[in-house]
Chain A
């Protein structure tokens, strides 16, 4: 039954116009970024490598598809969460707004199955949006700019990856991106279970993300202690895949914390929805 429900949820998601806002936004924004990089990208590369050029001679194609994809992946902080929230916040609240809870919950399916199917469908949507981002930024970027060495400015050093050593890092980074964006999706579904209109969950989810990011940005002792408990702190941990050597402990910690958040939000949503009186 759960597969049937997931299929139905996916059909509902992909039959709605709002679902395509994210795909269209990425489809417009990423080519615009490509264009901007095509025109101005060399200046950015020169800025990043200005220190290096004093001591080394840099050869090869540094303004390549990998570098542009790396820049675009930073959109995972705010922009992509917003596009995910647009759909995820509507998953439960949308049923309340439309009054369709009544035809759904009076069928012989458990509320747990309904919530589970919504979570799975929401995550599939999240995954598809990140994959679309990957196609638009990495695949299209490689077609336009070609491949080359990836130059990454870390906190303590500048690392240059050989072009044969990059692709697998992107696969893992996008995979991690799907996980971190699934936390955003789960949080939006949790808020969605509390209300009867999707606007509230969209605003609440984005407000939490922005507040957490601001709190993370302040380097004050009391907030420093709070940092490990803010999930937004781990959203950009995909950057760990562009470290040499890989800090596997840090990556595993981030994966566990983000997965823990998904489980926590799922459990809370299931409990709320199980107890919920359907009055809409």
Chain B
């Protein structure tokens, strides 16, 4: 399989739960080697789509092809090459971590040695707790065990549904580094869902935004994000001077809020150095310039553009 080959091909995918249309004719492709960000607010239909990709729920309409084969007709063969974490990581709490992995190894469709299981426990930092029952684990530890079970059978495609939910900053960083490692070093294809844009921005090369069950936008992360407006928080020594300096500029109307020594301006990514230079040249001491791009803001920009 070369890098242009399609790993996931979704066409016209819909799912209806009685009166609720959870996913509405979604279409997208994920190519080999992609870290594909699947982005949307809570309740957008991300988990429902992921559950359909993993055959946990059946679509009302549409087709799912993975590795070029229909999921419906080749479910077992396809699942042999997929590792996944769906929402929160749940295990048999009354069994030790290693026993949980041994059980899953036996039904993974591949020969998995005990050495491999121990290596994975070491990779996720749980080797010392291998024999502890999962009920004694924290959420973060369960999440790491979830990563280990997803990698157990060395799958080509890894599906991660909100893998950083409930983790502390250190845990979030570890997961992010692991995703980058898997993508860059092990050439895995990763399908990563999140409702946090910055999380996707840091690791994904392509992304799709879904809202109310429908696709909003899809494309290269750099291209999608570079042309859009950011909210930039600027911290200065004297906010009044800064305001006065900006009065005659095109950014004046974009000032959104002022709190203490900080004020926020909506601007494009490329304008950030220009604003910084302008303020400094006009005698304003700039302490910090922090671009913040929340999913909500970006999403509003996108939908405003669509309208």
Asked if A and B bind, the verdict is yes
Instruction: Name the CB-closest residue of A to B53.
Output: A106
**Is the beta-carbon distance between A108 and B107 smaller than 8 angstroms?**
yes
Q: CB of A224 within 8 A of chain B?
A: no
Smallest CB separation, A111 vs chain B (Å): 9
**Is the beta-carbon distance between A5 and B90 smaller than 8 angstroms?**
no
**Is the beta-carbon distance between A103 and B57 smaller than 8 angstroms?**
no
Q: How large is the interface on B (under 10, 10 to 19, 20 to 34, 35 or more residues)?
A: 20 to 34
**Is the beta-carbon distance between A4 and B106 smaller than 8 angstroms?**
yes
* Cβ < 8 Å to A, chain B residues 76-135: 76-77, 79-80, 82, 84, 86-88, 90-95, 103-104, 106-109
Smallest CB separation, A213 vs chain B (Å): 34
Q: A102-B86, A106-B86, A107-B109 are in contact. Are A277 and B58 (CB under 8 A)?
A: yes
Chain B residues, CB < 8 A from A50: none
A118 to B137, CA, bound (A): 27
**Is the beta-carbon distance between A277 and B91 smaller than 8 angstroms?**
no
**Is the beta-carbon distance between B108 and A107 smaller than 8 angstroms?**
yes
**Is the beta-carbon distance between A15 and B94 smaller than 8 angstroms?**
yes
Smallest CB separation, B229 vs chain A (Å): 37
**Is the beta-carbon distance between B92 and A105 smaller than 8 angstroms?**
no
Smallest CB separation, A3 vs chain B (Å): 10
Chain B residues, CB < 8 A from A278: 51, 56-57
Smallest CB separation, A51 vs chain B (Å): 55
Q: CB of A61 within 8 A of chain B?
A: no
* Cβ < 8 Å to B, chain A residues 98-128: 98-110
**Is the beta-carbon distance between A106 and B90 smaller than 8 angstroms?**
no
A279 to B22, CA, bound (A): 13
A142 to B108, CA, bound (A): 49
Q: A106-B56, A278-B51, A278-B57 are in contact. Are A99 and B90 (CB under 8 A)?
A: yes
Chain A residues, CB < 8 A from B95: 12, 15
**Is the beta-carbon distance between A100 and B54 smaller than 8 angstroms?**
no
Q: A8-B107, A99-B88 are in contact. Are A106 and B94 (CB under 8 A)?
A: no
Q: CB of B238 within 8 A of chain A?
A: no
Chain A residues, CB < 8 A from B108: 107-108
**Is the beta-carbon distance between A110 and B58 smaller than 8 angstroms?**
no
**Is the beta-carbon distance between A279 and B57 smaller than 8 angstroms?**
yes
Q: CB of B266 within 8 A of chain A?
A: no
Q: CB of B55 within 8 A of chain A?
A: yes
**Is the beta-carbon distance between A100 and B91 smaller than 8 angstroms?**
yes
**Is the beta-carbon distance between A108 and B92 smaller than 8 angstroms?**
no
Instruction: Name the CB-closest residue of A to B149.
Output: A103
Instruction: Name the CB-closest residue of B to A275.
Output: B58
Instruction: Name the CB-closest residue of A to B105.
Output: A107
**Is the beta-carbon distance between B87 and A106 smaller than 8 angstroms?**
no
Chain B residues, CB < 8 A from A36: none
Chain A residues, CB < 8 A from B54: 105-106
Chain B residues, CB < 8 A from A1: 107
Instruction: Name the CB-closest residue of B to A277.
Output: B57
Q: A102-B56, A102-B86, A279-B57 are in contact. Are A107 and B92 (CB under 8 A)?
A: no
| Interface membership of chain A positions 1-26, coded 1 if the CB is closer than 8 angstroms to chain B and 0 otherwise | 10011001001100111000000000
* Cβ < 8 Å to A, chain B residues 131-150: 149
A-B pairs, top 3 by smallest CB distance, nearest first, are: A99-B90, A277-B57, A108-B109
A-B contact pairs, 8 of them (CB 8 A): A1-B107, A99-B90, A102-B56, A103-B104, A105-B56, A106-B55, A107-B109, A278-B57
Which residues of A come within 8 Å of B, CB atoms?
Answer: 1, 4-5, 8, 11-12, 15-17, 98-110, 275, 277-279
